[in-house]
Chains A and B, each alone.
Chain A
Amino acid sequence: MSDASDLVPPGAAAPAQSGLIDDLEDLFENAPCGYLATDKDGRIVRANQTFARWTGYEAAALTGRRFSDLLSIGGKLFYETHFAPMLHIQGSFNEVALELLTEDGRKLPFLVNAIERRDARGHPSFIRFTLFMAVERRSYERELVVERDEAKAAVKAEQAESELREQFIAVLGHDLRNPLASIASGVRILQKENLGDRARKVLSLMDGSVVRASGLIDNVLDFARGRLGGGINLTRNTREPLVPVLEQVVSELRSIAPERLVECNFAISGPVDCDPARIGQLLSNLLGNALTHGAKDVPVRIEAWADESRFLLSVANGGAPISEAARGRLFEPFYRGDGPSDTPGLGLGLHIAAEIARAHGGALEARSDANETCFTFTMPLGSSDV
């Protein structure tokens, strides 16, 4: 359609080409667009050669026909209801996409501009149309629409798939808890038996593994729930004292790493308005992180205190500082540090800890230098809006 030879009428080219440059008649007849002049009612008075050639009519045969009769049914409807009224009101109407019917009945898309000329008393006297063939433009548009629809469908499919994946994770995590609870109970039952040292050691190692596995399941479930829109829900409980919960977490993790020193300093007297199980999970994640990444020969220090306005819980370990680059990404899910790739774990622990902090209206912050790396959780207490 964009073939340039389309625009040059056969026989119009060869002789005295330079003479055509400023020939206005030729400019009208062989312009790179279609021209139509109609009377005020849209009846064609004159059509140029370009328009006649594009549409397959004899230019002379167009004279006397109504412009709207050249349009497809949809085009005609649009012309009568929008185009003509707007043209009359505004005096001009531009860049309208219309489909015209060629002489042999094909539909041809055009972009149409029109102006209405009026006489001295303001009555419409005639209309001029400029028509640009828009076959390629229309096919581009159609392609764009198709591509947009395809992209939308792909995004939708991707979302559905990832939702399914997260639901799968949620169900898996949920169902893994039952057999794990059985193993934990089995260990407890056996620990009461009269056993040799070796059996006792095996049971205590199994106990540690159960703690580790259930911590992982908790984090994965929380993550999947977060992705599915559930978020971390809290069951605040001021009746349950917090210190025994924290001590229980520490003793569980000590059983995983019995060779490591963990020093605790708890100074909490009154009730703390929080979800004790969640704060326990937060401590478990921070302590697990410290035991994994901290220097083996430096004790891990845990501090917790509360006054009327604030609750603070911090876990500090020695060892190489966290790089500036890594510090910005610590709380992202699945981030496993910039160290060797054999770092164990899913990289969800700190992410979930930060989410628990946020759910409590508090914050989790990391500070790291050559002396120590310290994660500190703080939350406001006692304000009426909690």
Chain B
Amino acid sequence: MNAQTPITVLIVEDETLVRMHGVDILEEAGFQVIEAASADDALVLLRSHNEIGLLFSDIDMPGSMNGLELARVVHAQWPRMRLLLTSGHHNLTESSIPDDGEFVGKPWTEGKLIAMVQAVMAA
């Protein structure tokens, strides 16, 4: 991780206000943030933005796949991508997330979310 090039996070969240809040927290902490409202949008963005280093995705989303499935697809296609999943309903253990992925529960608090992002990036 070079201090000069900030890490780019792709946030995938279907609830607009929740996504805006996540973007606020991450940008304030110095990350570059790209937004997607669905798994399908996320895959399109991932193909065109190879600077993305972390997929931060909600699990419960409408559309062709949920966050967990998205994480599996992304892990298969971009094995070096770091993964952080989030949900207000599920309480996942890391074992169900591919590779070294982590889980953070909703609602996010700034401190905890940033700590989790940093932990995943340092892993």
Question: Contact residues of A with B, CB < 8 Å?
Answer: 174, 177-178, 181-186, 188-189, 192, 235, 248, 277
Contacts and interface: CB of A to CB of B under 8 A. Distances in A.
A182 B17 contact: yes
26 contacts: A177-B88, A178-B15, A178-B88, A181-B106, A181-B107, A182-B15, A182-B16, A182-B17, A183-B17, A185-B15, A185-B17, A185-B18, A185-B22, A185-B107, A186-B17, A186-B21, A188-B21, A189-B17, A189-B20, A189-B21, A189-B24, A192-B24, A235-B91, A248-B109, A277-B91, A277-B105
A97 to B, nearest CB: 59
Given A181-B15, A185-B22, 13 more contacts: A177-B88, A177-B89, A182-B15, A182-B17, A182-B18, A185-B17, A185-B18, A185-B107, A186-B17, A188-B21, A189-B24, A192-B24, A248-B109
Interface in B13-53: 15-18, 20-22, 24
A198 B53 CA distance: 41
A339 B16 CA distance: 43
B60 to A, nearest CB: 8
Contacts of B15: 178, 181-182, 185
Q: For chain A, what secondary structure do more than half of its interface residues adopt (helix, strand, loop), or is it mixed?
A: helix
B93 interface: yes
A84 B80 CA distance: 85
Nearest to A235: B91
A234 to B, nearest CB: 9
B20 to A, nearest CB: 6
A240 B93 CA distance: 13
A231 to B, nearest CB: 15
Interface in B82-118: 88-89, 91, 93, 105-107, 109
B120 to A, nearest CB: 15
Contacts of A186: 17, 21
Contacts of B106: 181
Contacts of A182: 15-18
A94 B17 CA distance: 81
A248 B15 CA distance: 24
A178 B109 CA distance: 17
B89 A174 contact: yes
Contacts of A235: 91, 93
